Amino acid sequence: MTTDVERPRLRELRTELGWTQQEMAERIAHLAWMERRDRVGVNADMVAKWERGAKGISPRYRELLCRLFGVAPDQLGLKNTPAAGATRTTRFDNQSLVAMLDNAAGLLDQLGAAGTALAPHLLHAWQDAVTTRRTMLGLLDPSATDPVGHACATTATVADLEQLAERYHALYETADPTALLTSVAAHVRLAQDTLRQDPAVGERRRLLRNLAEVAILAGRLSADDLGNAISGRAYYSLALDTAREAADDQLTALAHGHAAQLAAHEGLTTAALDHLTAASDHARSTPTIACWLATTEATIHADRGDQPAARDALDRAHTALEQSSGRPAPASFRYCATAELTAATGHALLRAGDGNGARETLTAALNQPRQNPRRQRVLVLIDLAAVELNSGNFPEACSHATQAATVLHQHAYAVGAARLRAFRAAAQLPLPSRALCALDEHLTQIAA
């Protein structure tokens, strides 16, 4: 019998993030291991009992739940919560080098035996982090030396590196971006060192493809998640060079496409469209990548106010999506084509001033049967907030924006944070201060 008379808010918090009960259990276990090296026995059944109020929540799990959802104890809806300030409400301390090292070490454990080859290279990442946490450009310098002077020489097979790359992509949606980037940046150094050993032709091509794939992920973590455009651009340039060297059209297209997104976020529209033109030439045989590129182009045109060009790009994206033949995309390219195309269509309708159409389309994107990736969900919520702001529905606008802010408080995502701040600036005059209170509190928490 539970000692908590009222039912906890766990179901509400969980469904706002689009998680199943099993996914929530897995995230609790992941968080416990990452922060405490503690193995917990939580499963979907336990989560269901918590949500029904059929099972009490111990102090150990209360603290983990507060960290997971980024809320104070009393906001979980439980009785007898610890005193205010007894539990930290943020998952990661972005100012703490020690926290970053702990998180990186936890990720290294998750990578298994192949991950041990990264250990000496992590020293370079940590040394750079002391100087500037988010500048990973220095990791691309092959002349860097071991800052401690005692790292053991370690070799890795091509199969090891390929296995590690698969694991990074599996962790991308749930891992702390700073910690994951530390491992990914070390992987870049290791792959470069291995290439310098003049491997056989077949292995060299596999290494080049692996390096391009991992460099693309490093660029996304640096630019999209951590807001370091300089580092992101360096990684995309490396990915483009190695993909070309490997004569891999798919990875070349992906490197160009991500470079286009980065250029667009910085307002460099001409450069972004040039990247997309180059990418399209390499994506002709892969409909999924062609669809993604056209969707990206549509968003760029919509943001610059060229609605006919945006509609034309969306039509091309639909055409590519409907193709039944062609090469499959690489396993590392996890693109939810239908959901992202629907979200892009809603964004274009918003920019065109069609509030009703945008609301209907964005709501459909948010409620896709397949769970939306976290980053896409944030952008859709912010677009929905803008729709409601434009229609004068201020409380609903603030509700959507606060949901997005809740996710951003738990997971760094610089692109989403910038979009949310733009929404907040637009809402400065019309929204009453009471409606903005929760949103402003979240924005303060993610400001660092």
Q: What pLDDT, in 10s, does the model give residues 262-280?
A: 999 999 999 999 999 999 9
The Cα-based distances of 8 to 18, 48, 392, 440 in angstroms read 17, 11, 32, 25
> Rounded to an integer, what distance in angstroms lies between the CA atom of residue 432 and that of residue 116?
54
Between 126 and 275, the higher pLDDT residue = 275
CA torsion, ordered 71, 72, 77, 82, to nearest 10 deg: 150
Average pLDDT value for residue range 327-341: 85
Per-residue DSSP letters for 115-177? GGGGHHHHHHHHHHHHH-TT--GGGG-TT---SSS-PPP----HHHHHHHHHHHHHHTTTS-H
* Cβ–Cβ < 8 Å for 69, 410: yes
Q: By mean pLDDT, which of 200-204, 289-293, 322-326 is the weakest?
A: 322-326
Alpha-carbon distance values, 355 to 204, 388, 426 (Å): 52, 8, 16
Higher pLDDT, 139 or 290: 290
Whether residue 173 contacts residue 105, with contact meaning beta carbons closer than 8 Å, is answered with: no
Specify the pLDDT at position 2.
42
Mean pLDDT of 321-344: 86
pLDDT of residue 436: 55
Distance CA 404, CA 84 (A): 25
What's residue 124's pLDDT? 52
- Kindly report the average pLDDT of the chain as a whole number: 78
Kindly list the structural domains of the chain, giving each domain's residue range(s) and its CATH number in brackets, ordered by start: 10-76 (1.10.260), 93-247 (no CATH), 373-448 (no CATH)
On whether the CB atoms of residues 199 and 207 are closer than 8 A, the answer is yes
Q: What is the percentage of the chain residues whose pLDDT exceeds 70?
A: 73
Q: In this predicted structure, which of 27-36, 196-205, 379-388, 430-439 has the lowest mean pLDDT?
A: 430-439
Mean pLDDT of 194-203: 89
Residue 152 pLDDT > 80: no
User: Which residue is it, tokens 């897995």?
Assistant: 26
Q: What is the pTM of this model?
A: 0.66
Q: Which of the listed ranges 58-72, 81-95, 278-292, 423-437 does the model predict with the highest average pLDDT?
A: 278-292
Number of helices followed by number of strands (H, E) in the chain: 20, 0
For the cut 80, the answer to whether the pLDDT of residue 139 exceeds it is: no
Residue 82 pLDDT: 42
